[in-house]
Amino acid sequence: MVVNIKKVLFLLVLSLVTTSCAFVPEVDKDQGYAKQCDMVIRKLNLASVTLGHLNCSVGGGGDEACLAAIGVAIPAVTLVVSGSIVVIGNTLHWVEYQGKCESGYVSQYVKFFKEKLY
């Protein structure tokens, strides 16, 4: 079996750069307006976390596949899934803000129409 040393080194460097990294949604700490408007849905941020030491010693010649899975698949999959959760959550947060807060579009239009009618 011929080992392509460039491929192995590339996968090793790639896995060292991104190994044990995952992305998770977290609640934003600065939400003073959310308390004033009595909002339920909180604004989210995307954070990166370390997963700890992941061992890649499978022993059956699948080291390259293991390094690629840990170095590329875990960060990519968690980025897509957690990023989708953050986008959907922040969209719902924005819609709730527009409806509940006085500075939101819905509240401003209701106030405008009340002033015109009365």
pLDDT tens for the 118 residues of the chain, in order = 566 788 777 776 666 555 567 889 999 888 878 778 888 888 999 998 877 655 565 455 566 666 666 667 778 888 899 999 999 999 999 998 888 888 888 888 888 888 887 7
pTM of the model: 0.66
Cα 110 from Cα 105, distance rounded (Å): 9
Which pLDDT score, from 0 to 100, does residue 1 have? Answer: 53
26/62 Cα distance (integer angstroms): 35
The structure tokens 């968690």 sit at 78
pLDDT number for residue 45: 92
* Predicted local confidence at residue 20, as pLDDT: 62
The owner of tokens 């700490």 is 29
Residue 15 pLDDT: 60
